Structure 1
């Protein structure tokens, strides 16, 4: 096998297998990073609310404090519910973006493979 043939085979193998695998791995890694960041952000927000409510419970000293605490609980529950909805929407959007980019990547790789195969068979 000559060097030119070996170089051509290496180039085809790179363009058909390694480059698409690296592109998909990079896309997956970016998605994972975004998902983990969203999860850490959500956990931090939920933890902050929980700790805040626990501290507020410690401050109850009378009936008025209890009333205030219960009102605060209702507000916290409402805010948490809204946050959960927003977080779920964010994750759904990230999933849709990942699927779209994955499909585009697969289509591009299929076109490139088809073009490469056509070139190889023409030679």
Structure 2
């Protein structure tokens, strides 16, 4: 029977459990930060658009100004819809990236565990 020293056991524990957990937590934190920043950017854009539209409406003084404001609303609505679509696409891309990287981490960890188990069974 082979004996393991404390350093080998600590290294194996780190390789099998701590390092994969740390890698997944790093991925999760990075994803959360990117998602939060995307949401903050989108919200700021939506608020800025709404405030700009309120200010424009407040500047209407007559029927001609109201007609011009109403005609501009189609353009604003189109731009807003494009922004929302772009924001949704960004979120989907972030989610797909997170899933792909998470799958890769899992695959790498399974391979590493299989290699370690194989080494352990050969030395036993």
After TM superposition, give the deviation of residue 4 of structure 1 in Å: 5.0
Q: Does 1:18 align with 2:18?
A: yes
Cross-structure match for 1:75: 75
Task: Give structure 1 regions of 4+ aligned residues with deviation exceeding 4 angstroms.
Answer: none
Cross-structure match for 1:42: 42
Give SS of 2:61's match: coil
Mapped partners of 1:15, 1:120: distance in 2: 14
Once the two structures are superposed, the pairs formed by residues 59-70 of structure 1 within 5 Å of their partners are 59-70=59-70
Mapped partners of 2:40, 2:88: distance in 1: 14
Cross-structure match for 2:122: 122
Query: Unpaired runs of 5+ in structure 1?
Result: none
Mapped partners of 2:10, 2:117: distance in 1: 14
Over aligned residues, Cα RMSD in angstroms?
1.2
Cross-structure match for 1:6: 6
Mapped partners of 2:96, 2:46: distance in 1: 25
Give SS of 1:60's match: coil
> What TM-score, normalized to structure 1?
0.94
Query: Unpaired runs of 5+ in structure 2?
Result: none
> What TM-score, normalized to structure 2?
0.93
Cross-structure match for 1:54: 54
Question: Cα deviations across residues 72-97 of structure 1 (Å, max 9, x unaligned)?
Answer: 22211111101111111111111111
Q: Does 1:100 align with 2:64?
A: no
Question: Cα deviations across residues 45-85 of structure 1 (Å, max 9, x unaligned)?
Answer: 10110000000010010001101111222211111101111
